[in-house]
Structure 1
Amino acid sequence: MSFNTAITGLKAASTMLDVTGNNIANVSTTGFKSSRTEFADIYATAVVGAGSSNSPGSGVTVAGISQDFSAGTIEFTNNNLDLAINGSGFFQLSDGQGSTTYSRAGAFELNKEGQIVSKTGKFLQGYGLDADGNRLPIGNLEVSQKESPPKATESIDLSFNIDDRADSSTLLPEYNKDEPGSFTYTTTVRSFDSLGNEQTVKFNFAEQRPVRQQYAYDVTGLTNFTISGVTLDSVTDFVAGELVDNPPDNKRSALAAVDPRIDLNSIRYDGTELSFELKAAETDTGGMRVTDTSAPLIPTVEQKRDANEVRTYDLAFTGSPAGTIEIGGVTVPITAGQTHTEIAQAIKTREPQILDRNPDIEAIFINDDGVNPPQVEIRFKADVGEVAANRYQPIISNTVAAAQIDFGTATASGVASAIADPDEHVVGDNSYQGKYRLYGYLNNEELLDLGKLQDPGAGSETEPGPILISFNPRSGLLDGINVFGSDGSFTPGTQVPAITISGADPANPLTEIRLDLTNSTQFASASIVKNQQQDGYTKGDLIGVTFAPTGEMVASFSNGQNQSLGVVAFATFENQDGLRPAGDTEWIATLESGNAILNPPGTGLNGTLRSAALEQANVDLSTELVNLIQAQRNFQASSKTLETANNITQNILNI
């Protein structure tokens, strides 16, 4: 009996030596999991008397060799196809013949077909992705895209600041894309056509100048004519030469709705000529047409005037009275016997005081041809806009009884005083402030269609040309895109309407680009680009593959694009201790382990994926060396037991 007991001890110690030696031998094996020898004692039992305390035992047996699935140290490499699992899970591998194994060794490579394989040639399993990024059933992961096809630019995000300090009045009167002095700011964005050719889209921003467009048409003999699609009756729609609302048609209101660019108060008709002005914010006619029954009319006058308000007063009076004329709080004394010209010059000499006291006034002019009565012309700054009628009107007073002063329509006699009304009044208009005409050019040559309407009220047809964008002159924030009257306006801070660019893809005329100007401003600081992005690119070749922590396999191309080609699948088991080793640092699922549960990395209890990293063996070398000593000691002790039993037996035989 003692011989058998000693032999079981020798066998157990030998097995422990084998397991320990195997651990030590694989200390540098990627993904290796160390094993541990587990022992159990042997007792000989019988049906009758089983479990007697007098049984000495029959030795030791190896109850099992269990593996330690704790994680090993992760070391980083220079190969993106080296993968490590940080946490729970196994790579699923297929040999292509129906056999599936599981491993923690992530030293993968590409085969000639672009498939990701282990060092033994087995295929790494994962989810494929369709064109919309949805996961497909589990299969071999492969780099299916060797090149990235070109993509035409379809979206441009552009934000900028235009210096509010720039003076639009200094711009050249006529816009010219090749003359920088005719626009305020310019910037160029790179784009790509459908074939991957690089193009450029240049944007010029021309701030509206403080002017109003004037038009006049010869309508002699016409009883009806049309402005922007609204037909006007020369008899019923005009009173004293001004356009009025005459029910039931209300043509004035109809024209205001169809083409709000026209200043309705400026429309005049005298039986032979039709004239009108555009608001200062609208210097582009954009398809505006004046026609008779069918044919467009050509303007006989097409010019511009300053948008400044101008008030003109005739110095016409009887006698030579004494008194005062007060303009903007500055008093000009008039002595008896002064001539018209002398009074006008007296006013001119007070101009510095008037301007100093009244910052809204730009200048005072004296118009005196020596024949007609002199005129006093008060010109206001353009940015003031329309000045209230009760401001800056001259106050005339007279201290000479029975004398008469006629200053425009105002009169005064005795010690009375009066406020003079202007003989001529040009309306002020500062609606140009913060308004810019935006031009777009393909490669600085071809004028692009940015959404400019062909004909007001004629539908959605557009044509190449400028559109109007606007900034709030008080806050400097963008508040209008493709502004047409009130259309296109929005509250700063809300969603900015996009601009649709057509014709910027020479390879495909159907391509449209969405231009987003969100966060653009007009502050008193240098004009700069704050953000500039576009989504087009040229053709690219594959330059590498990387993996995200969540398992996405991402292909990188020479055109700077990345494309997700699949997702690595991680396998977990209800009982991973039940896995059976299959060699090459791989395991096979068994009944004890249960079937593999497959999910992407980072989901559920799965660990995450590390690219360019390998998991080292979890062997503790110092522990294994101690185990060697312990196994050797056990072997020596069992040998001694065998030797002692042999000596006892020999002694018995010698009796």
Structure 2
Amino acid sequence: MTTSFYNGITGLKSFQYGIDIWGNNIANINTNGYKEEVPEFSTLFADQLSDQPISSDIGMGSRLSSTAINLSQGSLIQTDNPFDLSINGEGWFSVSKDNQTYYTRTGAFKRDGEGYLVDDNGDYLLVANANNLIKNPDGSYSVNRSINTDNLISQNTQMSPISLPNDVILPAVATTEATLTANLNDNSVISTTTPATEESDFSALYSKDGQDLQIRNGDSLVFGFGNPATYDNNLISTDICINDDPKDGKDAVYDFTLNGKTFNIDMPDGSTKEEIQDALHKAFDDAGIQNQITDNGIEISDPNQIILKSNNVLMPNIAAAKISYSSDPQNQYEFSTISDFNNIIQSLANDAYPDETKVYLDSEGRICIDNNSVNTINAYSLKTEDSNDLFMNNLGRLGNEIYGQTSAKSYDFLQNSQSFGGNIIEANGQKDTMSLTFTKQKVLNGQIQWNGEISIKDPDSNVISTQNFELTFDENGQLLSPKSVNITDPQNMTLNLDLTSYAKSDTGPSYSYTQNGIEEGYLNNYQISSNGNIEALFSNGQMSVLGQIPVYHFQNDQGLESIGGNLFRETDNSNKAILYTDQNGNYISGSSLSSNSLEASNVNFSQAMTELIVIQKAYSSAAKAVTTSDQMIQRAIDMKKG
């Protein structure tokens, strides 16, 4: 009879524990990271009535034998705090409380007043610290780039709290290497033109419309000043008009030089046109100068030049010469650059009109002939059998009468110039601008030469350095040399050139520029990656790892001891906390982390309420067993009294 009484009492105690546990589960249904506890009951002991082969035990009550932890994953709640963390799968965070290490699934961390990552109870999150922050005299911190932050976690890593300050600087990394990848457009018609310069070679020049002039060795023309000339049958010819000498009591003296030979012919006063022509004809024949008498006077011819300088008015000045383009000029009438060409034209002008002209290239790439006198001067250009039509057209208006105090100008001579740009970083963090300008220089023997100019400017656009170099491409536009250029100012670095030079329909520059320098960066914010890396993000787009959050595992999670506040500590039953590693000994988390999220409680409200109702009914039934046993004892006592 007393057995049933004690059975009821132990039931009441067991079910009270069950109500406490499920009530606690319901109370923590909104506690982040909370893991549901499940009560497990067992009988106290049994009294065997006999040794019969069938069961003959009488139960002697129940007790709470254990509380199991439900380790199923809770749902994830998104937050705006990058330090809110959840573990996707198995594992535990480790925290330090009163110099003791505990484990939790609650990942609600924030920074305290000193920047340390702590939970809501002020317990420190334990991490593998990179120890790569250096405190500066002004109180800010700089990242020590020399510290390797790969594989921060190992089995022997001493975990510690981590402080994440607000004022962190990522030091600059000086540029040591840059690479330009581009095609220097070499189409026959381009838009990337700039005015030619004195040093421009005609083989690489373009017309006013951006069309390649394609001037090559042997292209020629006749340019002249003074008495008009013609060009026919490979000869320059000029017709000098001869008139009768009027009787004025003075002899007619023909005093001049022709192609470097001096002539002084004294004709008697009143000589006729025919007499003068005959005298000149004989003198020219004796000097080996090709000539013939014409209706107007006498015609002089030469395959290369006619330079006639008269010392009086009886003979006209003439300076006409056949001039030719040569990639390697060897004589006074061969030209390569605009400077060469202008010098030849200036020399001819000086022969015909001493001290009256100036030949130069203006800022728009036009060849100009200034007439500084008050008189009209005569200039002309003549086609030869080897003339380049585009070149002749571009000279255009130079072959005209030039009135006093005016100028004759050619059309624009243009050069193919293409510019690219990028930045470099100095060791002190200064961000400089590098401008790269390539100008087509010369076409020679199946090769194309370009001039390259590197200009580096500081942030205020002040020029730090300028450097020029030559590039050579083959006829297919492949770069032969150089493949790289060394730069020494403002620092030693290498510019790699991945260039081609071939025709493109798109004439605009298309390129890529990369460099390995990094400008100084200032902390924007922090983030935590899926493998637990605590990453500082900087204004320059760079990232630096300051630490790594480990995920711990246990041989037996059910053996952990709860100390409240969602904290657990290891026991002999759980065994020591372990870190997973791969076959090479490298840390692997075993579960990924999600930042800006928290794991919700895994308590199932419907199940918890159902369990609570069931235990409540069981509790009432156990109470009924106690009262029934009490009534039975009372009846027995009453029977004895009776």
With the length of structure 1 as denominator, give the TM-score of the two structures. Answer: 0.55
Quote the residue 2:162 is aligned against: 141
Distance in 2 (CA, whole Å) between partners of 1:584 and 1:540 is 40
Letter of the 1:483 counterpart = P
Partner of 1:441 in structure 2? 455
Deviations 1:113-137 (A, max 9, x none): 3322222222222223334645264
Structure 2 residue corresponding to 1:551, chosen from 522, 532, 536? 532
Asked if 1:517 corresponds to 2:491, the answer is: no
Deviations 1:356-400 (A, max 9, x none): xxxxxxxxxxxxxxxxxxxxxxxxxxxxxxxxxxxxxxxxxxxxx
- 1:436-515 alignment, distance < 5 Å: 436-443=450-457, 465-471=467-473, 473-474=475-476, 479-480=478-479, 482-483=481-482, 499-505=484-490, 510-515=491-496
Name the CA shift for 1:630/1:137 in 2 (closer, same or farther; >3 Å). same
Query: Which amino acid is the alignment partner of residue 119 of structure 1?
Result: D
Larger radius of gyration: 2
Instruction: Give 5+ residue unaligned stretches, structure 1.
Output: 211-429, 450-462, 485-498
What do the CA deviations read for 1:536-584 (whole angstroms, capped 9, x no partner)? Answer: 3443322211011111111012233211111111111111111111222
Which residue matches 2:417? 184
Match of 1:363 in 2: none
SS of the equivalent of 2:552 reads strand
Q: Distance in 2 between matches of 1:636 and 1:66?
A: 25
Query: How many aligned positions are there?
Result: 400
The residue type paired with residue 38 of structure 1 is: E
Question: How far is the alpha carbon of 1:501 from its aligned partner?
Answer: 4.1
Cα offset, 1:518, TM superposition:
7.2
- The CA deviation at 1:88 is 1.4
Distance in 2 separating the partners of 1:92 and 1:572: 10
Which structure 2 residues correspond to residues 346-385 of structure 1 after superposition, within 5 A? Answer: none
1:596-625: per-residue Cα shift (whole Å, max 9, x none)?
Answer: 112589955710111111111111111111
Partner of 1:157: 179
Q: 1:44 to 1:27 in 2, by over 3 A?
A: same
For residues 194-273 of structure 1, the aligned pairs below 5 Å read: 194-210=427-443
Once the two structures are superposed, residues 82-129 of structure 1 have per-residue CA deviations (whole angstroms, 9 ceiling, x without a partner) of 11111111111123x531001111111122333222222222222233
**Contact 1:191–1:199 (Cα < 8 Å) also in 2:** yes
Displacement of 1:647 in angstroms is 1.9
The answer on whether the counterparts of 2:49 and 2:57 sit within 8 Å (CA) in structure 1 is no
Change (3 A) 1:521 1:553: farther
The match for 1:15 is 17
User: Could you tell me how far 1:432 is from its partner in structure 2?
Assistant: 5.9
Distance 1:118 1:445 in 2: 45
- Which position in structure 1 is the counterpart of 2:304? none
Identity across the alignment (%): 24
Query: Where do residues 590-605 of structure 1 align in structure 2 (5 Å cutoff)?
Result: 590-599=571-580, 604=588
Cross-structure match for 1:74: 76
> What SS class does the counterpart of residue 57 from structure 2 fall into?
coil
Q: TM-score, normalised by structure 2?
A: 0.56
Local SS of the residue matching 1:138: coil
Which amino acid letter does the alignment assign opposite residue 147 of structure 1?
I
Matched, 1:619 2:588: no
Alpha-carbon distance in structure 2 between the residues aligned to 1:187 and 1:608: 45
Which residue identity does 2:561 align to in structure 1? Answer: R
Residue in structure 2 matched with residue 104 of structure 1 by the alignment = 105
Root mean square deviation, CA, Å: 3.7
Residues 504 and 201 of structure 1: is their aligned pair in 2 closer, same or farther, counting only changes over 3 Å? farther
Equivalent position of 1:562 in the other structure:
543
| Residue aligned with 1:647, SS | helix
After TM superposition, give the deviation of residue 448 of structure 1 in Å.
13
Checking the alignment, whether the CA contact within 8 Å between 1:448 and 1:504 is kept in structure 2 is no
Distance across 2 between alignment mates of 1:554 and 1:203:
36
User: AA paired with 2:114?
Assistant: E
Distance 1:562-1:619 versus aligned 2 partners, 3 A rule:
same
Q: Which residue identity is paired with 2:563? A: A
Residues 175, 156 of structure 1: alpha-carbon distance in 2 compared, 3 angstrom cutoff: farther
**Which ranges in structure 2 are unaligned for 5 or more consecutive residues?**
131-146, 202-411
* Pairs within 5 Å for 1:283-302: none
Counterpart Cα distance in 1 of 2:556 and 2:82:
31
Q: In 2, Cα distance between the equivalents of 1:625 and 1:13?
A: 14
